[in-house]
Amino acid sequence: MSTSTVPAPSATARDRAQQRLAALATPPGALGRLGDLAVWLSATQDSVPPRALDNVRLVIFAGDHGVAQHGVSAFPPEITGAMVRTFLAGRAGVSALARTHGVHVRVLDLGCTDDFADLEPGARTDLQRHKVRQASAPIHLADALTDQEYAEAWRAGETVAREELGSGADLLISGDMGIGNTTPTAALVAAALGLPGSAVAGRGTGVDDTALAHKAALVDQALARLGDRAADPAEVLRVLGSADLVATTAFLVTTARAGVPALLDGLIGVACGLLADRIAPGAAAWFAAGHRSPEPGQSLALEALGLTPLLDLGMRLGEGSGAVAAVPLLHSAIALLRDVALLEDLG
């Protein structure tokens, strides 16, 4: 695992895009954040105007979380495997959005408890190619992963990113599936930002006030176990994360290093984005935020990353859905900077 700084997107292209934006036949600033988005895409592609995005790819990293057995979710862990089958059938929330917006979807089992024995052998092999273990350890009681599992999950995320880049991806999105995953990701944000459980814990799938207080207390217990290991972001990820969250973080670091932009989703994607930027400083310059989730940890992490989300629809699904829903805005931003006349052409 390399921890060196990630090279920044092109400053020259960014400046030229900014100049082109200012010269368009629109009042200054009239395109609002779509203008900023077009400038960011120009910088990431080193191209003014930016090229069309015609190979947007989503990878859903699935896994179970030991902490889900301890009253932190409104749903049972069995839903994780059932939803993986639903992604494979193209019937999940994100499947509908991805189909509508032409986003390629791939789902991978990094740490599901389910063995998917009912799947046809080829499909099962594809799904489990990068499987590290079944369910992470409950983070308030034990380290989520061993050193070896951490290394394996990191390599899996790197490999998957390279595979997606090799398929010609021009924008990548990470999605999540794993009942209980808003607890470890809240803990990751808390550890990275030095906050208590009560500041980061949210309702996830819809827990009541009692379960919310219990969730915050388990995050505090996990943070106490972590102790001064909080100073090392890779250790934070190993102790508080899971195979799917480590792989997601490695995926985001690898795509940033390759100079390909990524669109972050809700709490899970943004928590992994924050860890990615801690492990590989500068990675965040390659990220944009698709949407704001009601999870408090997501907003705190976005602020720390200096990212303003594109959409704010109250979505709290995960799966990459908020990022996929924002993809049309990227197409709009590109079309504007590319196709609008210049003021000087008006005559």
Ligand X SMILES: Cc1cc2ncn([C@H]3O[C@H](COP(=O)(O)O)[C@@H](O)[C@H]3O)c2cc1C
Ligand Y SMILES: O=C(O)c1cccnc1
Q: Which does 177 bind (CB under 5 to 8 A by kind): ligand X, ligand Y, none?
A: ligand X
Out of 17, 43, 79, 226, name the contact with ligand X by CB under 6 A.
Answer: 79
Q: Which does 138 bind (CB under 5 to 8 A by kind): ligand X, ligand Y, none?
A: none
Sort 238 into a burial class: Cβ within 10 Å, 0-12 / 13-18 / 19+.
buried
Query: Would you call 120 a catalytic residue per the annotation?
Result: no
* Cβ–Cβ under 8 Å, residues 169 and 312: no
According to the binding rule CB under 6 A, does residue 291 interact with ligand Y?
no
**Minimal CA–CA distance to 66: which of 135, 145, 159?**
135
Of 158, 164, 295, 319, the catalytic one is 319
- Of the pair 255, 293, the CB lying nearest ligand X is at 293
Sort 160 into a burial class: Cβ within 10 Å, 0-12 / 13-18 / 19+.
buried
**Least spacing, CB of residue 12 vs ligand Y, in Å:** 35
Name the E strands within the chain: 56-63, 104-111, 171-177, 262-264, 287-289
In this chain, which residue has its C-beta nearest to ligand X?
Answer: 204
Residue 222, H or E segment: helix 209-226
**Least spacing, CB of residue 152 vs ligand X, in Å:** 22
According to the binding rule CB under 6 A, does residue 272 interact with ligand X?
no
Residues in 182-241 at the binding interface with ligand X, rule: CB under 6 A = 182-183, 204-205
Classify 35 in phi/psi space as left (phi over 0), alpha (psi -120 to 50) or beta: alpha
In angstroms, rounded to a whole number, what is the distance separating the alpha carbons of residues 23 and 28?
8
Q: Which does 79 bind (CB under 5 to 8 A by kind): ligand X, ligand Y, none?
A: ligand X
In angstroms, rounded to a whole number, what is the distance separating the alpha carbons of residues 304 and 71?
29
Backbone CA torsion sign across 205, 208, 209, 214: negative
Residue 268, H or E segment: helix 267-279
Out of 265, 307, 324, 333, name the contact with ligand Y by CB under 6 A.
Answer: 265
β-pair partners for 177:
62
Q: Which does 59 bind (CB under 5 to 8 A by kind): ligand X, ligand Y, none?
A: none
In single-letter form, the type of residue at position 154 comes to W
**Least spacing, CB of residue 295 vs ligand Y, in Å:** 4
According to the binding rule CB under 6 A, does residue 177 interact with ligand X?
yes
In angstroms, rounded to a whole number, what is the distance separating the alpha carbons of residues 56 and 313?
22
**Least spacing, CB of residue 340 vs ligand Y, in Å:** 34
According to the binding rule CB under 6 A, does residue 174 interact with ligand X?
no
According to the binding rule CB under 6 A, does residue 298 interact with ligand X?
no
Sort 28 into a burial class: Cβ within 10 Å, 0-12 / 13-18 / 19+.
exposed
Question: Helix, strand or coil for residue 45?
Answer: helix
**Least spacing, CB of residue 320 vs ligand Y, in Å:** 9
Phi and psi, residue 149, nearest 5°: -65, -40
**Minimal CA–CA distance to 136: which of 236, 267, 268, 240?**
240
Which residue is listed with tokens 């965040």?
284
Out of 75, 106, 128, 335, name the contact with ligand X by CB under 6 A.
Answer: 75
Q: Which does 50 bind (CB under 5 to 8 A by kind): ligand X, ligand Y, none?
A: none
Q: Which does 9 bind (CB under 5 to 8 A by kind): ligand Y, ligand X, none?
A: none
According to the binding rule CB under 6 A, does residue 98 interact with ligand X?
no
According to the binding rule CB under 6 A, does residue 242 interact with ligand X?
no
- Of the pair 9, 184, the CB lying nearest ligand Y is at 184
Q: Which does 157 bind (CB under 5 to 8 A by kind): ligand X, ligand Y, none?
A: none
According to the binding rule CB under 6 A, does residue 205 interact with ligand Y?
yes
Task: Please report, as ranges, the residues that interact with ligand X according to CB under 6 A.
Answer: 73-75, 79, 83, 176-183, 204-205, 317-319
Catalytic residue IDs: 319
Task: Please report, as ranges, the residues that interact with ligand Y according to CB under 6 A.
Answer: 182, 204-205, 265-268, 293, 295, 298, 316, 318
